[in-house]
């Protein structure tokens, strides 16, 4: 690497971080200790038992997690009031850095994504950098792992169009791997092995990422100003949501995240974390230290590391490189799922990866802070079964108390201040404290908004923002039990090594369909109803305590369908609810992205009869798509790794030529999926197919080709 | 530019020994291909198609066994590839099977459909800008390779590694079977030494009330 500095990194000072960690977590532990004592006292008042011990332990764990969350809010709030110099953007005057000799790659790893959206996001980012006048310092790479041939060809087609449109030959590159081993981390490794040494830094984007040019330039300057920093993670703002669910998530992200992340940065400092995208990475140390090994043993813990980002940050930190969170850099965007079910699908994938971190936790040499990040990731999912266990244990104790004939007369509290309180009042006090701890960060976020006039306006005013927070709180109350059951199922099935497949979501024109929601939620409804009846029979008083939880389960179908609707989201927007700064004052990048996406949607033909094997048809029939495709295959031969992969697929062999003949004579239905992929990967056969499809008389072609030629020439 | 189609149907209604329907099919195929190349100017398109058909008709008498579409297809390929060879200054003589691909790519990158439709298939000389755009166009998926090899460093998981490989340890399964057998013996012993009585008492004590409640309420 010509322009890379020598690796010589001093360890970051530990005292300040140690003090902050101690103070931060001690606050959470202190709060947990106090409330746990109150809870233990309550349990003691009704007579101790083994099940009460279980309940208490569960309470302590769950409350500690909640208290840590609350402390993030509290510390973040005060940091935002009083300011801090301990943030990456305040450490040096980085804006003065000269980056004319620095090369940075911006990579978009993709896997069977909507290539239209990916490339329009890339275009918005590209144009934004162009406006900064620093475009020459950046190269763009679309790193495809797509296994669907239609996606593959579509990506190539749209890439070539984009390159021609932007006159970006030699600036925007496209590479598709023939074997997608080790998924996203393998995809990035392949890029680094092929081109990594050309770039001092690389910025990893997600398929739905958009980044502002100034932000990207600032990230490079920050890296230049801090040679001991290995990775800087930005905090992506959720944008472009249209459904009510998406807009609520987006609103929560934009309102609460600044406060929470400020709190996170308080204790993490230069031992931050990596979230897998919208981050800049110093290439050389990453290549040297962050190639992920296989974990010993079998699934779910063993094998390839699925959630690579946390581990890569931990490995970087292990080698004394710093990892920072640039939480005050604006202009980093991503999109979120638009419905509860899509969200649950994503959570399920993440669950598997995070549980696997249970093994990485034991890796020798990792920083303590890295282990904390890993533990948080794990508990993000494990907390759900623990919460369910807490509720079931509570029901069990209530049931046993009532039907074993034991007295339910409580003894006096051990606490002198609660001596005259009834058991119910005592329970209510604990409930109020719990609710306060949960709600306090939200309240502080609102307070933070109230003291910042421009931000307040960007959220549609304090009044509307307050109503939106109330709405968001109601929604998350109903959503929480569903997440609890989904996460519990994911955790249990993952631990059992069972892979539960998801069918592709059946969306109608405007979100989740009623039938699909019923298929996905009938179990939740049933559990909610059964649990409700049980609690009602047990004690109607108890039933009412459970209603928020039960309502989320029983009404999961309408909740899922209605919150996925775009028109409901639009209605809320017209009422000024759940507004975010990117909605009220959209940045240029997002305006450009949205308008281009709208044009695509209005102008592109989505007739279903043209959708079967459309990629194959285009790759064979379209003279330009075929030329681009064949050229890319030809270039692959120059890389020994890809050449070997092509050989493995069978490219250039007589067998593939026979597949080609079969394809022309019988249509794509006559070939298996892997045979079609082999044909698409053979440059010679693709040239021949193009020629033959246009030279042969119709009677020598399968009816499918005749229809495609007709359809195709009308389309272009 | 070669002259347009001159041959008319003979008295039997055929052209060069093929029916009008056959020539119509050939026309449609050639027109579709030029459509696919995004030739949108109708007069130009018509002229190109007729030029191809004329060449096919010239061959038709000598090759009675070939269909009009086949002949037109071959002539179209020859015409287009020959033109690519001239513009790109490459030999058309079958040595470079990628010539057609290169030519089509050059058309795309030079934006022939947008800027240079009038130059397509026209004999030279061509405008310098067009020639430069065609000849200097090259497509690259990436910059020059700088190959390297990342090597993973193994994570030392300490004693936990042994645990993850527990199932692979020798005789573990055998030992597990023995442990299960021992547990079975303990259970049998416990059940035959007043264990049943204790289970019965436990159920009577803890579950009878529950059962009664269920009978009454559910």
Q: What is the secondary structure of A63-118 as a DSSP string?
A: HHHHHHHHHHHHHHHHHHHH--S-SHHHHS-GGG---TT--EEEEEEESS--HHHH
Residues A542-568 have a mean pLDDT of 95
Walk across the sheet containing A237-238 and list its strands: A210-211, A332-334, A237-238
How high is the pLDDT of residue B147? 81
Residue B11: predicted pLDDT: 63
Give residue A112's region: left, alpha or beta (phi > 0; psi -120 to 50). left
Nearest CB among A164, A170, A634 relative to B108 is that of: A164
Residue B169 pLDDT exceeds 70: no
In this prediction, residue B217 carries a pLDDT of 67
- Give chain A positions within 8 Å (CB) of B147: 193-194, 639-641
Q: Is B8 in CB contact (< 8 Å) with chain A?
A: no
Q: What is the pLDDT of residue B94?
A: 56
- What's the pLDDT tens digit per position in B75-120? 999 999 999 998 988 876 655 568 888 899 999 988 898 888 888 9
Min mean pLDDT across A317-321, A583-587, A695-699 is at A695-699
Cβ-Cβ contacts under 8 Å between A and B: the total is 181
Domain with CATH 3.90.550.10 in chain A: 1-454
If you average pLDDT over residues A43-67, what whole number do you get? 92
Is residue B24 less than 8 Å (CB to CB) from chain A?
A: no
pLDDT band at B1 (very low <50, low <70, confident <90, very high): very low
pLDDT in tens, B125-153: 889 999 888 888 776 777 888 888 888 88
Segment A297-307, tens digit of pLDDT: 877 788 888 89
Task: Express as a percent the part of chain B with pLDDT over 70.
Answer: 80
- Report the gap between the CA of B92 and the closest CA in chain A (Å): 16
Q: Do B160 and A359 touch (CB under 8 A)?
A: yes
> Nearest 10 degrees: CA dihedral of A516, A519, A520, A525?
120
pLDDT band of residue A1 (cuts 50, 70, 90) is: very low
CA distances from A26 to A68, A181, A380 (A): 10, 43, 21
At residue A176, φ and ψ (nearest 5 deg) are -115, 130
DSSP designation for A670: G
Which residues from chain B sit within 8 angstroms of residue A364, using beta carbons? 155-158
Q: Which residue reads 């935002």 in tokens?
A: A80
Given this structure, which CATH class describes domain A1-454? alpha beta
Q: Is the pLDDT confidence value at A248 over 90?
A: yes
pLDDT at A117: 95
Give percent of chain A with pLDDT exceeding 90: 70
CB contact under 8 A, B32 and A141: no
Interval A16-46: pLDDT, tens:
778 899 999 999 999 999 999 999 989 888 8
pTM above 0.95, yes or no: no
Note the pLDDT of residue A716.
62
Amino acid A90: pLDDT: 86
- Boundaries of every domain in chain B: 14-135, 162-217
Question: What pLDDT does residue A6 have?
Answer: 42
How many Cβ atoms sit within 10 Å of the Cβ of residue A562? 17
Q: From CA A583, how far away is CA A441, in angstroms rounded?
A: 23
Interchain proximity A363–B155, CB inside 8 Å:
yes
Mean pLDDT of B168-190: 80
Which of A296, A624, A695 is facing B108, going by the closest CB pair? A624
Secondary structure class of A595 (helix, strand, coil) = helix
Strand partners, A232: A280, A324
Give φ, ψ of A322 to 5 degrees: -90, 150
- Rounded to the nearest angstrom, the minimum Cα separation between A153 and chain B is 14
For the beta carbon of residue A136, count every other beta carbon within 10 angstroms.
Answer: 11
Cβ distance A238 to A250 under 8 Å?
yes
For residues A400-417, average pLDDT: 72
Across A679-708, average pLDDT: 90
For chain A, give the mean pLDDT: 90
Task: Summarize pLDDT for A125-146 with one digit per residue, the tens.
Answer: 999 999 999 999 999 999 999 9
Interchain contact B63–A (C-beta under 8 A): no
Nearest beta carbon to residue B36 from set A360, A404, A716:
A716
The phi, psi pair for B53, rounded to 5°, reads -65, -35
pLDDT of A140 reads 97
Q: Is a pLDDT exceeding 90 seen at residue A340?
A: yes
CA distance to partner chain A, nearest, from residue B9 (Å): 22
The pLDDT assigned to A138 comes to 97
Question: What is the pLDDT, as a whole number, of residue B117?
Answer: 87
Q: Do the interacting molecules here have an ipTM over 0.90?
A: no
> Per the CB < 8 Å rule, is B32 touching A164?
no
Instruction: Convert the pLDDT of each residue in B5-26 to its tens digit.
Output: 555 666 666 776 778 888 888 9
């Amino acid at each position: 690497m010509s322009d890379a500095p020598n690796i010589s990194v001093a360890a970051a000072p530990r005292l300040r971080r140690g003090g902050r960690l101690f103070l931060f977590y001690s606050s959470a532990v202190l709060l947990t200790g106090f409330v746990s004592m109150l809870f233990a006292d309550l349990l003691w008042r009704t007579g101790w038992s083994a099940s009460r011990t279980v309940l208490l332990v569960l309470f302590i764990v769950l409350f500690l997690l909640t208290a840590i969350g609350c402390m993030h809010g509290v510390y973040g709030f005060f940091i935002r009031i009083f300011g801090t110099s301990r943030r990456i953007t305040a450490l040096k005057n980085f804006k003065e850095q000269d980056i004319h000799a620095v090369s940075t790659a911006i990579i978009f790893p993709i896997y069977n994504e909507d290539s239209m959206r990916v490339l329009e996001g890339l275009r918005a980012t590209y144009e934004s950098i162009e406006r900064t006048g620093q475009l020459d310092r950046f190269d763009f790479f679309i790193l495809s792992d797509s296994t669907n041939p239609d996606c593959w060809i579509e990506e190539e087609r749209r890439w070539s169009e984009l390159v021609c449109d932007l006159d970006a030959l030699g600036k925007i590159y496209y590479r598709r791997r023939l074997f997608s081993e080790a998924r996203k981390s393998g995809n990035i490794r392949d890029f680094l092995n092929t081109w990594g040494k050309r770039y001092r830094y690389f910025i990893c984007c997600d398929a739905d990422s958009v980044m502002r040019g100034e932000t990207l330039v600032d990230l490079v300057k920050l890296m230049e100003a801090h040679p001991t920093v290995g990775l800087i993670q930005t905090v992506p703002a959720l944008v472009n949501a249209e459904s009510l669910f998406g807009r609520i998530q987006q609103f929560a992200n934009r309102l609460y995240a600044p406060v929470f992340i400020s709190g996170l940065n308080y204790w993490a400092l230069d031992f931050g974390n990596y979230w897998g995208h919208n981050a800049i990475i110093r290439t050389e140390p990453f290549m040297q230290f962050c190639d992920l090994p296989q974990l010993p043993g079998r699934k779910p813990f063993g094998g390839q590391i699925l959630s690579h980002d946390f581990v890569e940050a931990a490995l970087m930190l292990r080698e004394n490189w710093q990892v920072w969170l640039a939480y005050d850099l604006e202009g980093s965007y991503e999109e979120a799922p638009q419905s509860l079910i899509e969200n649950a699908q994503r959570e399920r994938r993440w669950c598997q990866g995070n549980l696997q971190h249970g093994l990485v936790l034991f890796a020798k040499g990792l920083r303590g802070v890295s282990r904390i990040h890993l533990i948080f990731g794990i508990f993000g999912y494990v907390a759900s079964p623990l919460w369910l266990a807490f509720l079931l244990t509570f029901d069990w104790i209530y049931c046993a108390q009532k039907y074993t004939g034991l007295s339910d007369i409580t003894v006096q509290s051990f606490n002198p201040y609660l001596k005259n309180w009834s058991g119910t009042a005592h329970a209510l006090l604990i409930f109020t404290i719990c609710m306060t701890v949960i709600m306090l960060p939200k309240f502080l976020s609102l307070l933070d908004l109230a003291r910042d006039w421009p931000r307040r306006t960007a959220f549609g005013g304090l009044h509307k923002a307050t109503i939106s927070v109330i709405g968001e709180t109601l929604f998350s109350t109903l959503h929480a039990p569903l997440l609890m059951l989904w996460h519990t199922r994911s955790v249990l099935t993952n631990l059992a090594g069972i892979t539960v497949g998801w069918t592709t979501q059946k969306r109608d024109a405007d979100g989740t369909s009623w039938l699909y929601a019923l298929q996905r939620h009938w179990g939740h409804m049933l559990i909610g109803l059964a649990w409700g009846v049980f609690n009602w029979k047990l004690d109607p008083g108890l039933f009412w305590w459970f209603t928020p939880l039960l309502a989320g389960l029983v009404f999961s179908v309408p909740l899922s369908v209605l919150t996925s609707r775009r028109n409901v989201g639009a209605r809320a927007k017209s009422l000024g609810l759940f507004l975010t700064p990117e909605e009220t004052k959209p940045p240029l990048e997002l305006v450009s992205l949205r308008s281009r996406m709208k044009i695509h949607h209005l102008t592109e033909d989505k007739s279903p009869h043209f959708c079967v094997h459309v990629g194959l048809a285009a790759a064979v029939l379209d003279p330009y798509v075929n030329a681009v495709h064949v050229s890319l295959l030809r270039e692959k031969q120059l890389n020994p790794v890809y050449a070997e992969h092509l050989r493995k697929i069978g490219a250039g062999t007589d067998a593939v030529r026979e597949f080609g003949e079969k394809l022309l004579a019988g249509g794509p239905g006559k070939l298996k999926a892997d045979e079609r992929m082999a044909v698409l990967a053979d440059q010679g056969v693709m040239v021949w197919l193009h020629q033959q499809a246009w030279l042969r008389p119709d009677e020598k072609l399968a009816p499918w080709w005749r229809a495609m030629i007709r359809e195709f020439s009308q389309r272009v | 530019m070669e002259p347009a189609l001159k041959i008319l149907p003979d008295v039997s209604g055929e052209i060069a020994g093929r029916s009008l329907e056959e020539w119509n099919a050939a026309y449609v195929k050639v027109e579709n291909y030029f459509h696919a190349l995004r030739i949108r100017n109708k007069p130009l398109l018509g002229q190109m198609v007729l030029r191809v058909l004329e060449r096919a008709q010239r061959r038709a008498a000598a090759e009675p066994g070939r269909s009009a579409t086949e002949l037109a297809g071959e002539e179209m390929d020859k015409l287009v590839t020959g033109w690519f060879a001239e513009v790109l200054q490459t030999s058309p003589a079958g040595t470079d099977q990628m010539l057609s691909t290169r030519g089509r790519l050059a058309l795309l990158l030079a934006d022939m459909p947008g800027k240079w439709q009038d130059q397509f298939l026209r004999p030279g000389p061509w405008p310098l800008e067009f020639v430069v755009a065609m000849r200097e166009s090259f497509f690259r998926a990436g910059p020059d390779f700088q190959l390297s090899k990342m090597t993973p460093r193994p994570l030392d998981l300490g004693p936990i590694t042994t645990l993850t490989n527990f199932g692979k340890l020798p005789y573990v399964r055998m030992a597990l079977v023995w442990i299960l057998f021992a547990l079975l013996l303990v259970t049998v012993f416990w059940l035959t030494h007043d264990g049943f009585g204790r289970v019965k008492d436990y159920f009577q004590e803890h579950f009878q009330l529950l059962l009664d409640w269920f009978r009454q309420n559910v």
